[in-house]
Amino acid sequence: MTSFPHDTAGEPDPLRALDLERLRRRTSMKWRTYPEDVLPLWVAEMDVPLAPPVVHALTEALALGDTGYPAGTAYAEALAGFAARRWQWDGIAVERTAIVPDVMLGVVEMLRLVTGPGDPVIVNPPVYPPFFAFITHMDRHVVEAPLGADLRIDPTALEAAFRRATAGGGRAAYLLCSPHNPTGTVHTAAELTAVAELAERHGVRVVVDEIHAPLTAPGVPFVPYLSVPAAARGLSLMSASKGWNLAGLKAALALAGPGAAADLARLPEEVGHGASHLAVLAHTAALREATGWLDALLTGVQANRRLLTALLAEHLPAVQAHPAEATYLAWLDCHALGLGDDPAQVFLDRGRVALSSGLPFGTGGAGRVRLNLATSPEILTEGVRRMAAALK
């Protein structure tokens, strides 16, 4: 697969649209968890205005009083069109999709379809912390297959985890994060093929969180897991929420490979009632009409990656930033600073800048922090300066 060209002609960088004064008027988690003297660069909310097509879709629906329950297949059709244009993938069959409340609740429902209480679910730490919480809250248990030293899937560790998980002859699932959060790693077609073949060999069902799929860096191709021939029994969750900053507009899509259609057909009909109708309209508009806005965003994120590299070299040369290929998140190794297992707490207490602690990400998270790049260059610069000031 080739990557879609990033054409930002006529689209301003949304990361430069809002100043700190306006952002502090927001009432969401990012801006209300900490006191006002703390600069928040943590949770995955972007400091951007909504894409105009999304605003139009929402205001039109509100003007009509169109605030009922979601219906129809427009969201799935919009995603299929986006996938064909963006990833040159025509593999989304609308009849093998289902609306779910959001990606993580969709993950829970997919795991319920292919595992039972007490069954193991394999993950690749360091990984998105809710993976651990949702798996354990639904009475499954986590089996870790840590990423390799290069922060890519380690086939040896993964096969060992598959063997452990299936040793008793029961069911097991593998919850894959693609692209990976927090590292920003984009799994290649070869890596995903190896995963799918390994899973089939061991009888492990694969469920993939692909929420960050629209956020690959310019020139980096995203490979949908279900596009891999051996992945026919896979289940995927996709959404426009991360790419267009729609976390507060809850909706996602579950996708089934041809060999998993019967599994998805067992999804209770009422699961789809949990999605917001307004969210479905917003996500559909984003996928259909706001790709120029997305490209401008990705260009801005890439510029911020370069800026972060320069800022760290100037102010925190001992901090190592993993070169991310996707997401708007930076995974920083702070071991050389000697701040212990939780440097985020030090940066918060001494520098008044909030980052995500690496500890909840599991094995490999100690001594690291996750920084949110989806902000203005000015705010990012101030954030790094505060981190440096925490060491004085």
Is 262 contained in some domain?
A: yes
Separate counts of helices (H) and strands (E) for the chain: 13, 13
Measuring CA to CA, how many Å separate 65 from each of 55, 272, 368? 15, 21, 47
Q: Is 102 a domain residue?
A: yes
Flag whether 98 is in a domain. yes
**Cα angle value 305/310/314 (rounded, 5°):** 145
Q: Which of 375, 333, 374, 301 is nearest to 126 (CA)?
A: 333
Tell me which of 251, 268, 289 is where a domain ends: 289
Among 289, 323, 354, the domain boundary falls at: 289
Are the CB atoms for 325 and 216 separated by under 8 Å? yes
- Give the C-alpha separation, 226 to 216, whole Å: 17
What tokens does 70 get?
Answer: 């979601």
Instruction: Please check whether residue 8 lies inside any domain of the structure.
Output: no
225 and 328 share one domain: no
Exposed e or buried b per residue across 223-235, where buried means at least 16 C-beta atoms within 10 angstroms of its C-beta: bbbbbbebbebbb
In a domain, 1, yes or no: no
Residue 311 belongs to domain with CATH number:
3.90.1150.10
For residues 273 and 307, state if they share a domain: no
Same domain, 44 and 179: no
pTM, two decimal places: 0.95
Helix axes 277-289, 291-315, angle to 10 degrees: 80
CATH number for the domain that contains residue 261? 3.40.640.10
Whether residues 168 and 91 share a domain: the answer is yes
Same domain assignment for residues 225 and 281: yes
Q: Structural domain tally of the chain? A: 2
Report pLDDT digits (tens) over 62-114: 999 999 999 999 999 999 999 999 999 999 999 999 999 999 999 999 999 99
Report yes or no: 295 and 3 within 8 Å, Cβ to Cβ: no
In a shared domain, residues 135 and 267: yes
**Residue 152 and residue 234: Cα distance in Å, rounded?**
20
> Quick one: 193 and 272 in the same domain?
yes
Over its length of 392 residues, how does the chain's per-residue pLDDT go in tens digits? 333 333 445 689 999 999 999 999 999 999 999 999 999 999 999 999 999 999 999 999 999 999 999 999 999 999 999 999 999 999 999 999 999 999 999 999 999 999 999 999 999 999 999 999 999 999 999 999 999 999 999 999 999 999 999 998 899 999 999 999 999 999 999 999 999 999 999 999 999 999 999 999 999 999 999 999 999 999 999 999 999 999 999 999 999 999 999 999 999 999 999 999 999 999 999 999 999 999 999 999 999 999 999 999 999 999 999 999 999 999 999 999 999 999 999 999 999 999 999 999 999 999 999 999 999 999 999 999 999 999 99
Note the pLDDT of residue 4. 31
Is residue 148 located within the same domain as residue 279?
A: yes
6 is a domain residue: no
- What whole-number distance in Å separates Cα of residue 152 and Cα of residue 168? 28
Residues 125 and 195 in one domain: yes
Asked if 283 and 295 sit in the same domain, the reply is no
Question: Do residues 205 and 325 both lie within one domain?
Answer: no
Range of the domain at 81: 54-289
Please give the pLDDT value at position 6: 38
Statement to judge: residues 198 and 346 lie in one domain: no
Domain end marker among 289, 315, 337: 289
Q: Residue 4 falls within a domain, yes or no?
A: no
